[in-house]
Structure 1
Amino acid sequence: MDVTALPVEPLTRQAFAPFGDVVETAGAELRVINGGTTQRFHDLAEIDVGASGGRAIISVFRGQPFDLPIEIAMMERHPLGSQLFFPVSSRPFLAVVSLDDGGKPAPPRAFLCPPGIGVNYARNVWHHPLLALQAASDFIVVDRDGPGINLEEKEFSNARYRIEEADLRHKTPE
């Protein structure tokens, strides 16, 4: 089986747009509420969970850190709803995503998500399960609960992708 190096890209709204939303306060609509004591960064992501009677739920995921190198051998997607990950811990994480290629994931792209910035995977977008770095990390997750099958997993059939420590060096905030 071939193993291909997977370069890590910085997370930007433009680069991530085919896969969903970058969830950050920079550039967001700011509303001052509660008598001027609170800033609300409004409408940061498209939560899409209503298909087939679904409803939005909020959970906390605690991701264990991955040791480098990280081998990417499979992807998953949620055909009935989006899935938002926002870090509570002040550590970076990786978002690995793929476009669809005839019902299976295309070659992936990897994004380094800095502390304090999350991602919202759009409905039906292939992505790797949570990839925490450095230490166990907590995430607020907004996703779908309800009837129907909302998880599909696929292994890469002829290739594996690897993220090396060198790909994160000088890109990972301390």
Structure 2
Amino acid sequence: MANKWAGAAPGGVLDARPFTQEAFAAFGDVVAPGDQSRRVNDGRALRYDGVARLEHDACAADPVLALYAVSASPKPFAIDLLERHPLASQTFVPIRLAEPYLVVVAPSGADGEPSVDRAEAFAAPPDVGVHYAPGVWHMPMAAFGADALFAMWMWEAGDGRDTEERRLPVALRVRGW
């Protein structure tokens, strides 16, 4: 059987792009303050609503808020695993983060597997979060420079349908970040 990822990014290398809502829209949302806000907390705070489109299948009925303590990884970083959550969107918001973090995503191919030849990489600033739409293949969270802490929010069914993982036969590398 031919390697379906043989045509991946040239040499398995992706160029990191700026993490903007426009560039990332096909995969989810950039979680950051927007244009619309309202004063709350006796006028001491601005509340920004609608920073992500939280979505879930009815069978993913349990809301989950978790903390991810991520050990620092060295650069360059080889990406050999992608995962997705077919039943719900997933949001990560940095709580403690020393450097920008890496967001690598890939759409699904016609067979439902990651379309690595259409993978994209983004350098996310440490003061914004990432919201993955349901079913978007993405690399697991990684931290660089120092250990990090992220808050994670998603809906779960509590069984094997919540997360799917795929090992890549050829690791991806990201340059320019």
Tell me the TM-score normalized by structure 1. Answer: 0.86
Partner of residue 164 from structure 2, selected from 127, 152, 155? 152
- Whether 1:116 aligns to 2:149 is no
**How far has the Cα of 1:53 moved from its partner?**
4.2
Contact 1:78–1:151 (8 Å) recurs in 2 = yes
Gaps of 5+ in 2: none
Contact 1:49–1:56 (8 Å) recurs in 2 = no
Amino acid at match of 1:79: P
Contact 1:52–1:147 (8 Å) recurs in 2 = no
Gaps of 5+ in 1: 169-174
For residues 5-54 of structure 1, the C-alpha deviation after alignment (integer angstroms, 9 at most, x for no partner) is 221111010110111010001x2421101221221111211112353142
For residues 60-97 of structure 1, the C-alpha deviation after alignment (integer angstroms, 9 at most, x for no partner) is 11111211111112211001111101111243111110
Runs of 4+ in 1 over 3 A off after TM superposition: none
Contact 2:60–2:155 (8 Å) recurs in 1 = no
Distance in 2 of aligned mates of 1:53 and 1:33: 31
Q: CA RMSD in A?
A: 1.8
Tell me the TM-score normalized by structure 2. Answer: 0.85
For residues 114-140 of structure 1, the C-alpha deviation after alignment (integer angstroms, 9 at most, x for no partner) is 011011001110001002111101111
Distance in 2 of aligned mates of 1:113 and 1:123: 20
Distance verdict in 2 for CA 1:53–1:139, change over 3 Å: closer
How many residues are matched? 164
Q: Percent identity?
A: 32
